[in-house]
């Protein structure tokens, strides 16, 4: 059980870090489009600020999303016994896409997370869930079950 909890926590943290950096870059790109000069120092400061302030918020979105998505992925991998690793990757990405869509439908503003305003941003932010699914699966059990069953 400890291995699952550690894998889950690291999947949330890893995905939240990547999502935060993506979100920061989308915000900075919007400022650059308005002719605001953004140098490397400002970018690094913005990333560190967002990791401290936006990172925990996105992690709170990832926790219930990953909990549900990874349970579904586990159930599918047990029932179908094929491509176990891919179920966790797919579940993380689809889970976040669903979560972002649900959150945006309930938020008073058009999108809660600015990066989700464009299709590219939505895809990149949702792909952080796939990354989290990959982290979880690799740490939970480094060798997929289908490979373990083939060993003599």
Determine the number of helices (DSSP H) and then strands (DSSP E) in the chain: 6, 0
Residue 150 has pLDDT above 60, yes or no: no
Measure the CA angle with vertex 76, ends 94 and 61; round to 5°.
35
Residue 56 located in a structural domain? yes
Whether residue 148 is contained in a domain is answered as no
With 0-12 / 13-18 / 19 or more C-beta atoms within 10 angstroms meaning exposed / middle / buried, residue 72 is: middle
Distance of CA 12 to the CA centre of its chain: 7
| Residue 19 included in any domain | yes
Rounded to two decimals, what is the model's pTM?
0.86
pLDDT at 34 over 60: yes
What mean pLDDT do residues 21-34 have? 93
Looking at residue 120, its pLDDT comes to: 93
15 in Cβ contact with 131 (< 8 Å): yes
Q: Are 125 and 22 in contact (CB under 8 A)?
A: yes
Overall domain count for the chain: 1
Q: Which residues contact 128 (CB under 8 A, 6 or more apart)?
A: 15, 16, 18, 19, 22, 96
Of 135, 114, 138, the closest CA to residue 26 belongs to: 114
Domain range for 46 = 2-143
At 38-88, the pLDDT tens digits run 999 999 999 999 999 999 999 999 999 999 999 999 999 888 877 778 999
Q: What is the pLDDT of residue 151?
A: 46
Does residue 152 lie in a domain region? no
In a domain, 51, yes or no: yes
Classify residue 9: in a domain, yes or no.
Answer: yes
Residue 151 resides in a domain:
no
The conformation of residue 34, written as its DSSP 8-state character, comes to T
Helix axis angle, 2-33 to 40-53, nearest 10°: 140
In a domain, 150, yes or no: no
């Amino acid at each position: 059980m400890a291995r699952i909890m550690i894998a889950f926590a690291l999947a949330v943290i890893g995905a939240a870090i990547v999502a935060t950096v993506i979100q920061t870059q989308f915000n900075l790109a919007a400022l650059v489009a308005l002719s605001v000069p953004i140098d490397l120092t400002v970018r690094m400061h913005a990333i560190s600020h967002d990791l401290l302030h936006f990172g925990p918020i996105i992690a709170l979105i990832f926790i219930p999303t990953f909990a549900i998505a990874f349970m579904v992925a586990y159930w599918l991998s047990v029932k179908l016994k094929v491509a176990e690793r891919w179920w966790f990757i797919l579940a993380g990405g689809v889970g976040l896409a669903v979560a972002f869509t649900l959150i945006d439908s309930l938020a008073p503003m058009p999108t809660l997370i600015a990066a989700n305003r464009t299709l590219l941003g939505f895809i990149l932010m949702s792909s952080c869930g796939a990354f989290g699914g990959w982290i979880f699966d690799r740490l939970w059990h480094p060798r997929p079950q289908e490979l373990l069953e083939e060993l003599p």
